[in-house]
Structure 1
Amino acid sequence: MTKEVMAVYAAILFAAIVAMAVTGWRRRISSQVAKFSQPLEALEYFGELIASANGFYVATTEAANHLERIAAYGLGIRGEAQILVFNEGLLIVRKGERPLALDRAQIDSVSTNQAVIDRVVEADGLITVNWTQDTHKLSTHLRAVDSTGRAALLEAISKITTREASK
């Protein structure tokens, strides 16, 4: 009888912890939805394809705090992605999730990084794209599969960001 009672208590405790985690995640999404509108899923005008690479969408975070994951609008889910840089912006086609499109006017800067939230890679292994959505500063972190693709993406994103700043 004691083992059965302990098993029931453990199951109830586990269910309570899962319910608190789900409630916290939903509360986080609600507060983030109130801060900014849904990002684009496609660019209005793509222009010429400058660079593309297969890789991973790692996370979108607050620009000032790379430990604060953005969960709203499906941005909290990590996964495989195809990263496309066009004259008019950046398109991240994520496997199993909504695409994320950043118009070049939204992109503030691009840099490399080694760590974000729960992901640590080799030095300069992550591409960090800093952008603005409704005056809210965000950073999207990407990982290209190979170093050649990473270099091409960095150069292309820098090019469209620089071109926008020079207008």
Structure 2
Amino acid sequence: MTPLIAIAAEAAEQKSAEVTDWAGRLGWIAGLLLFVVLVYWLMRQGWKWRGSLQSDLPELPTRPSPTTTLNGGGKPPQPGMPQAPGEAKLTLSGRYHGSTTAGQWLDRIVAHGLGTRSRVELTLTDAGIEVVRPGANDFFVPAAALREARLDKGIAGKVLAEGGLLIVTWEHGGEQLDSGFRSDRAAEHTAWVEAINSMIKTTEGIAR
């Protein structure tokens, strides 16, 4: 009988050890989940804090209506006043990867939804660039606010191959911003850079 008792005791110890292992695993998983929740909460707080620091940034420009070309009673628009969109010169479907302070690719702008990555539809007209973002804030970049367009590889923590991003530099609220876009057909980027920079030169010539 003694060997049977010894075998039974050994089996009981193994079963107890298995239960103990499961408890340890569950505790480790719970701890990991708590850590993930904490990191997520800290990220959200950092996002809100950055947004509060950028609260002085004005509301984003919106797409002007066709009547914007009239300044009360059919008068022509004043200099600097946004004009109606007009005919599309170029269109682009792709992704919006965020905006930063111009020249500082890691200084993300989050105010007014500019920090939200999303799908995007861009339309370039004589009046500027219409930015339509499903599920995020749309905005409009007037031609007079455009400063530069170039190809780059990174913005706001997003790094791609060289020339993988279309970066548009524009002025808003006295600040210059870089906004990054990536077309579903990256070969389109060059045409956008050329068209935007040509528009800027034309606008500057008229202003002089």
Give the TM-score taking structure 1 as reference length.
Answer: 0.87
Distance 1:153 1:24, change over 3 A: same
Report how far residue 14 of structure 1 moved.
4.0
For residues 125 and 115 of structure 1, what CA distance do their matches in structure 2 show? Answer: 8
Match of 1:85 in 2: 124
Report how far residue 148 of structure 1 moved.
4.1
Report how far residue 147 of structure 1 moved.
3.8
For residues 137 and 128 of structure 2, what CA distance do their matches in structure 1 show? Answer: 17
Report SS of the residue matched to 2:52: helix
Percent of paired sites with the same residue: 21
Amino acid at match of 1:114: K
Match of 2:171 in 1: 132
For residues 14 and 151 of structure 1, what CA distance do their matches in structure 2 show? Answer: 41
Structure 2: gaps (5+ residues): 1-19, 65-81
For residues 163 and 115 of structure 1, what CA distance do their matches in structure 2 show? Answer: 28
Amino acid at match of 2:138: P
The farther-off stretch of 54-63 and 156-165 is: 156-165
Q: In structure 2, which of residues 31, 38, 45 is the aligned counterpart of residue 23 of structure 1? A: 45
Match of 2:205 in 1: 166
Q: In structure 1, which of residues 29, 38, 60 is the aligned counterpart of residue 99 of structure 2? A: 60
Structure 1: gaps (5+ residues): none
For residues 148 and 10 of structure 1, what CA distance do their matches in structure 2 show? Answer: 43
Distance 1:143 1:23, change over 3 A: same
Report how far residue 72 of structure 1 moved.
1.0
For residues 49 and 84 of structure 1, what CA distance do their matches in structure 2 show? Answer: 6
Distance 1:17 1:42, change over 3 A: same
Count the aligned residue pairs.
166
Report how far residue 11 of structure 1 moved.
4.9
What RMSD over aligned residues (CA atoms) do the two structures have, in Å?
2.1
Point out the structure with the larger helix share.
Answer: 2
For residues 132 and 76 of structure 1, what CA distance do their matches in structure 2 show? Answer: 17
Report SS of the residue matched to 1:122: coil
Report how far residue 120 of structure 1 moved.
2.3
Report SS of the residue matched to 1:53: strand
Amino acid at match of 1:151: T
For residues 180 and 113 of structure 2, what CA distance do their matches in structure 1 show? Answer: 14
Q: RCO higher in 1 or 2 (8 Å CA, sep ≥ 6)?
A: 1
- Name which one, 1 or 2, has greater alpha-carbon Rg: 2
Give the TM-score taking structure 2 as reference length.
Answer: 0.71
Is residue 178 of structure 2 the alignment partner of residue 118 of structure 1?
Answer: no
Distance 1:21 1:121, change over 3 A: closer
